[in-house]
Structure 1
Amino acid sequence: MYLTQGLHRAVQSTPDAVATIYGDRRRTFREHVDRVARLAGALRGLDVEPGDRVAILSLNSDRYAEYLVAVPWADLVLNPVNIRWAPPEIAYSLNDSDTRVLLVDDAFAAVVPHLREACPSLAAIIHCGDAPTPEGLLSYEQLVADNEPAEDARRSDDALAGIFYTGGTTGFPKGVMLSHTNMVTSALGTVASGELLGYGASMLHVAPMFHLADLAAWAGQVMLGGPHVMVPFFEPVAVFEAIEKHRPTDVLMVPTMVQMLVDHPRIGEFDLSAMQRILYGGSSISEGLLTRTMERFPHVRMTQAYGMTEAAPVVALLLPDDHYGKRLGSGGQAALHAEITILDVSGAAVPTGTVGEICTRGGNVMQGYWNRQEETADVLRDGWYHTGDMGYLDEDGFVFVVDRLKDMIVTGGENVYSAEVESALSKHQAVQASAVIGVPDENWGERVHAVVVLAPGTETTAEELTVFCKQHIAGYKAPRTVEFVDALPMSGAGKILKRELRTNHEGPAEARSM
């Protein structure tokens, strides 16, 4: 298995079909593969050895799609950089992975002087934007023009495909090592569900392309030989315009993106009828948002993917026909390429319906963490990857995620899972988004604290929300304090940074103890 495999088939069978669309720029598979091969030839001409890392710091674009296949084509290893990181975090990941080449677009060219100074292992920096190439950088387009097409190295199977740094929501980022087998297994297993892509499908990339959620959809589309439509970054109106103009059939989003589209005041102005499937994941989705989305897009089939970077990333899928009743709150059943079990602290399987740690195995599970043998051994045990998520399996094999191990709140001796409280809050019409954390409390050890973003034009109070929650969950689980904010801190992958909420919490802006 290898990531470039689908390109060879596409250029052989449909060379003049559209491969990439970015703004007004469209390229066929013949053009796409020629550029990929020339970029691979250029990379080989730099000061690199097989297996060296090549990073990219860029917004979504057709050049990003070329990078993703040109690097393995050149027998090198991917290292997509989180675009939301500060320069010191970027430098850390480049140094930790000993990255040799960095591609950077117009949006991030200003950070190059800092990275050049902070990252002595960088042998070359390539400008891959549309503006004139800054002094001292190599021109992407000049490299493509000046180099002959290289033969595909067909880097494959257990060879390292990329180092993908975690979002850092629970600590300093770790480099996840994924092989070609890991990535292709996850992509094909997800496509084989029949609810993502398929022949004739067109994939819209609105999530950041550095993230494994989008990369899994990208890899599946590469294998199928279908077109990719890219917008630089997620912005609701730009997404609406891309759907209306280019008529993609499939899109992957995190729940925060889904919410911004569904609740946008201009959604009714655009023809969104081409959309057939939405794959959502990256973090849990509230039942309230899911219900609103299904009402807004009745013609679209929705699938939830539960997973993580370490699983390349798909572990389970909640298929469209299972979006009803209690299953709305689940992550779905094990994907076709994965197994799931629930283990207790001793490593023993627990009975159906019992909460424990969600563990998985399959050809999609990572090789380990880069340069972190102890942490690798801690999560890869007895053939299972220990996810750090708490959850249970029902009698039909649906996995329900109740919380992260580190996010569980212990208040008055009782365990409270923040996801359950967030789900209750989401049912209130004034709540647009929420995050529930545990904060120190003299009487209770920890108290349940909700950080809430109100929907535009609505009002409510802390007392009203607490009373509302008690109608849906046990009283001890309801928030004792509520804080109202304009926005929640997000990672580049669209995950709520609860660690930041805990670290920066200085007391609620409007709170009431119950």
Structure 2
Amino acid sequence: MYMTQGLHRALASWPDRVMTVCGSRKRTFATVAERVARLAGGLRQLGVQRGDRVAMLALNSDRYSEYLLAVPWADAVLNPVNIRWSPQEISYSLVDSGTTVLLVDDAFAPLLPAIRAGAPDLATVVYCGEEHIPDGMVGFEDLIALDLPLEDARRGGDDLAGIFYTGGTTGFPKGVMLSHANLTVSVLGSLATGYLMDEDSVSLHAAPMFHLADFATWYAQLMVGGTHVFVPAFDPVAVLQAIDTHRVTDMLLVPVMVQLLLDHPAVGEYDLSCVRGILYGAAPISEALLARALTVFEGAGFTQAYGMTEVAPIATLLGPRDHRAGRLRSAGRAAPHSEVRVVDADGRVADPGTVGEVVVRGGHAMLGYWNRPDDTAAAVRDGWMHTGDGGYLDADGYLYIVDRIKDMIVSGGENVYSAEVENAIAEHPDVAACAVIGVPDPEWGERVHAVLVCRPGCELTLEDVRAHTKSLIAGYKAPRSLDVVAALPVSGAGKILKRQLREQYWTDTTRQVN
């Protein structure tokens, strides 16, 4: 199968149905298909050839959706850019992937000078915003107006569909290579549960579209038909208004987004009875928050997804019935397309209830890391993707995540690798040594916490450390709390004992992650 297949099916079945809603713009499947073919032709005129990487740095919009279709239509490879990255990180990903064409909107056009400084081979920038086209850029709508529709390449199967960058344990992002088959297997398997949307659904995109979680919901809705509604970014009022106005039936949120919606004083002013399904991930939802959510979103079914970019992205699902049965601490059971095991340090299958590393196998497991064969070999062994998460399966096959083997923090639904943050903090001239850990946080699930030693005669505040860190890496990775200590605990081999640093924060919890 190929990524554009759902669009062709909808074009044959219901061409006049509304496919996208973005602000005041509404476009049918027929209109979108025509625009996608023309945009693909425009990309070809820019020199995009088979396998070339085309990146996009933008907030959510109908044009983002068209980019996701036009790039494979043109026989090229997607490279959605993390909108929360610093210009330095963005440039690194563009250089690493060999990307020469980048689409940007109004929110990110001002970053172009800094991005270009770090990515001198970036040949073409396409402006997909709403204002006047800046100098040196090509207009998104101008490419479509060329009226040079391209025949769909129907790029599919094991061909590379996209490079999706994720945090790196060594401080540099890694490009996860996912094929059309990887993405399609994950989506069709998840749809087979009946937990997700159908052809009559109206799906809201409030989570960032660069992220594979929202991408998966976009692709699922594309596969079955239905309508996509876009808000530029998560904002409680914008989300509430979109639900009420467009009668949204399905959406992806992380628990902190659910909390912000419920806590907003205007929540009672909107009719939210149309919502049928809420998919969430990154962290379990508390019983208290779920009870409140079920009152506000009356009749909505909640589904938790567990996975990672490397498995495109869904491995397990906890459906609405499981939520009602009180299994909220579980990450669910293996999705129909996924095989999940827990193994010990020697790779042997662990007994039910015994904690080990969670490994995943199936047609959704990545092709590998872009230009990183050693990292690929370390992560995928004997066909199993090693997640770096510690957990156990119960006798009924439900997965419980209890710890992380990888040195990773999940804060507000975003992965933060400690090494990235430590490398940035260590560049501060007043820092002698540092360690970064994840600690519990009622709003973000986990927050990034730094423990550091200052150089003699120096002092640092949290504001100092945050400002320095944000000048080098994405703001969401900057520490939200700080301890300054005289010395860090180390092992006999000189390794910092992070578990010892974490103990004081996690002593009252049954799991060592949120």
Shift in CA distance, 170/198, structure 1 to aligned 2, threshold 3 Å: farther
Q: Note if contact 1:47-1:123 (Cα within 8 Å) is conserved in structure 2.
A: no
* 1:334 is aligned to 2:334: yes
Letter of the aligned partner of 1:368 in structure 2? G
Distance in 2 separating the partners of 1:282 and 1:53: 28
Structure 1 residue 201 corresponds to structure 2 residue 240: no
Task: Kindly indicate whether residue 446 of structure 2 is the aligned counterpart of residue 435 of structure 1.
Answer: yes
Aligned-pair CA distance for 1:286: 3.6
Q: What is the aligned partner in structure 1 of residue 53 from structure 2?
A: 53
- Aligned residues of 2:447 and 2:479 also touching (Cα < 8 A): no
Give the partner amino acid of 2:384: W
Match of 2:132 in 1: 132
Contact 1:277 1:300 in 2 (8 A): yes
In the TM superposition, what is the alpha-carbon distance from 1:495 to its structure 2 partner?
12
1:356 equivalent in structure 2: 356
Residue 239 to residue 168, structure 1, CA distance change in 2 (3 Å):
farther
Do the aligned residues in 2 keep the contact of 1:282 with 1:495 (CA within 8 Å)? Answer: no
Distance 1:352 1:408, change over 3 A: farther
Secondary structure of the corresponding residue to residue 102 of structure 1: strand
Q: Distance in 2 between matches of 1:438 and 1:405?
A: 18
| One-letter amino acid of the structure 1 residue matched with residue 392 of structure 2 | Y
- Note the C-alpha offset of 1:152: 0.1
SS at match of 2:327: helix
Pairing 1:215–2:226 present: no
Give the deviation of 1:290 after TM superposition: 3.0
Q: Could you tell me which amino acid in structure 2 is paired with residue 38 of structure 1?
A: R
**1:381-392 maps to which residues of 2 (within 5 A)?**
381-392=381-392
> In the aligned structure 2, how far is the partner of 1:152 from the partner of 1:22?
25
* Larger mean Cα displacement after TM superposition, 96-105 or 140-149: 140-149
Counterparts in 2 of 1:74 and 1:432: CA distance versus 1, 3 Å: closer
Kindly provide the CA deviation profile for residues 54-83 of structure 1, in whole angstroms up to 9, marking residues without a partner as x. 000000000000000000000000000000
Q: Contact conserved, 2:84 with 2:476, CA < 8 A, in 1? A: no
**How do 1:280-299 residues align onto structure 2 when only pairs under 5 Å count?**
280-299=280-299
1:170 Cα deviation from its structure 2 partner = 7.9
- For the residue of structure 2 that corresponds to 1:106, the secondary structure is coil
Aligned CA distance change for structure 1 residues 167 and 295 (closer, same or farther; 3 Å):
farther
Q: What's 1:270 paired with?
A: 270
CA distance in 2, matches of 1:246, 1:284: 28
> Partner residue of 2:150?
150
1:37 and 2:37 aligned = yes
Offset at 1:437? 7.7
Hey, what's the Cα distance between the residues in 2 that align with 1:169 and 1:144?
40
Q: For residue 493 of structure 2, what is the aligned residue in structure 1?
A: none
1:129-166 alpha-carbon deviations (Å, 9 max, x no partner): 11110011001101101132110001100000000001
State the one-letter code of the partner of 2:59. L
How do 1:83-482 and structure 2 match up within 5 A? 83-167=83-167, 171-324=171-324, 327-406=327-406, 422=440, 431-433=442-444, 435=446
Inter-partner Cα distance in structure 1 for 2:309 and 2:294 = 27
What is the RMSD computed on CA atoms of the aligned residues? 2.7
Q: 1:433 to 1:316 in 2, by over 3 A?
A: same
SS at match of 1:329: coil
- Tell me the amino acid that sits aligned with residue 128 of structure 2: C
The 3-state SS of whatever aligns with 1:328 is coil
Deviation of 1:119 after TM superposition, in Å, equals 1.4
Cα distance 1:116–1:171, how it changes in 2: closer, same or farther (>3 A)? closer
How far has the Cα of 1:259 moved from its partner?
A: 1.3
Bigger mean CA offset, 30-39 vs 260-269 = 260-269
Q: Tell me how far 1:403 sits from its aligned partner.
A: 1.9
Instruction: Quote the Cα distance in structure 2 between the aligned partners of 1:408 and 1:116.
Output: 30
What runs of 5+ residues in structure 2 fail to find an aligned partner?
410-436, 453-461, 463-468, 486-503, 508-514
1:281-301 Cα offsets, whole Å, 9 max, x none, are: 134434443343234323111
Using the aligned pairs only, state the percent identity.
Answer: 55
Q: 1:64 to 1:380 in 2, by over 3 A?
A: same
Distance 1:377 1:295, change over 3 A: same
- Give the direction of change, closer, same or farther, for the CA distance of 1:326–1:137 in structure 2 (3 Å limit): same
For the Cα contact (< 8 Å) 2:305–2:318, is it kept in 1?
A: yes
Asked whether the equivalents of residues 71 and 78 of structure 2 are also in contact (C-alpha less than 8 Å), the reply is yes
Instruction: Measure the CA separation in 2 of the matches of 1:204 and 1:170.
Output: 35
Contact 2:275 2:297 (C-alpha < 8 Å) held by counterparts: no
The answer to whether the Cα contact below 8 Å between 1:282 and 1:308 also exists between their aligned partners in 2 is no
Tell me how far 1:266 sits from its aligned partner: 1.2
Q: Flag the 1:309–1:351 CA change in 2: closer, same or farther, 3 A.
A: same
Q: In structure 1, how many angstroms separate the alpha carbons of the residues matched to 2:157 and 2:298?
A: 40
In 2, Cα distance between equivalents of 1:43 and 1:438 = 44
What are the ranges of 5 or more consecutive residues in structure 1 without an aligned counterpart? 410-417, 426-430, 442-450, 452-488
Residue 114 (structure 1) shift: 2.1
Cα pair distance change 1:63/1:407, threshold 3 Å: same
SS in 1 for 2:292: helix
| CA distance 1:440–1:35, shift in 2 (3 Å) | closer
1:439, 1:57 → 2: CA distance?
29
The letter for the 2-side match of 1:400 is Y
Return closer, same or farther for 1:5/1:166 CA change in 2, 3 Å cut-off. Answer: same
Report the TM-score when normalising by structure 2: 0.81
Counterpart amino acid of residue 41 in structure 1: G
Letter in 1 for 2:446: A
